[in-house]
């Protein structure tokens, strides 16, 4: 294994771009990327070489992002700070919120890898090639899993 500084220098910008694709926030992407490398350094002995180092780092980054996202969501759900927009149609706004809530509940109940592939594609806006690489599969595999997840959600929404 090379020096960790070399790993950091070689992979930081790629991992940062990956995280930025997930969160669309530069400050958050930088923080998550730093946390990713901190976790990687702490657990470098667990890297067994079964996948590329970049893929391992992206998996850590993805898990770090989703942990942070869930933590922030819990905090925001506990605070009823969202004020209704007086210009919006209240009835359609409520229907949209209900449909969104229902979709998230159904998504939560999807089996893996359907849930994760759907989440990475829709919320992380990752290309199929990158999703496939994260799982050690092809982009065709990622497309198929996404299609099946979407179909399962559409059926459940009916």
| Chain segment 11-60, per-residue pLDDT in tens | 888 889 888 888 888 888 888 899 898 898 888 888 877 778 888 898 89
Q: Are 120 and 134 in contact (CB under 8 A)?
A: yes
Helical H segments across 24-89, by residue range:
26-42, 53-78
pLDDT on residue 84: 43
pLDDT on residue 9: 86
Phi, psi of 122 (to 5 degrees): -80, -50
For residue range 106-147, what is the model confidence (pLDDT) as tens digits?
Answer: 887 888 888 888 888 887 778 888 888 888 988 889 889 989
Instruction: Tell whether the model's pLDDT for residue 98 goes beyond 80.
Output: no
Instruction: Tell whether the model's pLDDT for residue 77 goes beyond 70.
Output: no
């Amino acid at each position: 294994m090379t020096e960790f500084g070399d790993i950091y220098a070689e992979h930081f910008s790629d991992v940062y771009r990956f995280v930025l694709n997930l969160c669309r926030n530069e400050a958050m992407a930088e923080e998550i990327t730093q946390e990713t490398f901190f976790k990687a350094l702490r657990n470098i002995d667990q890297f067994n070489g079964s996948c590329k180092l970049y893929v391992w780092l992206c998996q850590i980054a993805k898990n770090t992002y989703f942990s942070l996202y869930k933590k922030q969501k819990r905090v925001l759900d506990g605070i009823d700070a969202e004020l209704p927009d007086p210009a919006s149609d209240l009835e359609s706004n409520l229907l949209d919120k209900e449909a969104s809530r229902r979709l998230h509940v159904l998504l939560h109940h999807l089996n893996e890898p359907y849930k994760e592939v759907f989440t990475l594609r829709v919320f992380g806006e990752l290309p199929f090639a990158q999703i496939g690489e994260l799982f050690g599969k092809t982009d065709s595999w990622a497309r198929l899993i996404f299609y099946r997840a979407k179909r399962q959600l559409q059926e459940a929404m009916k």
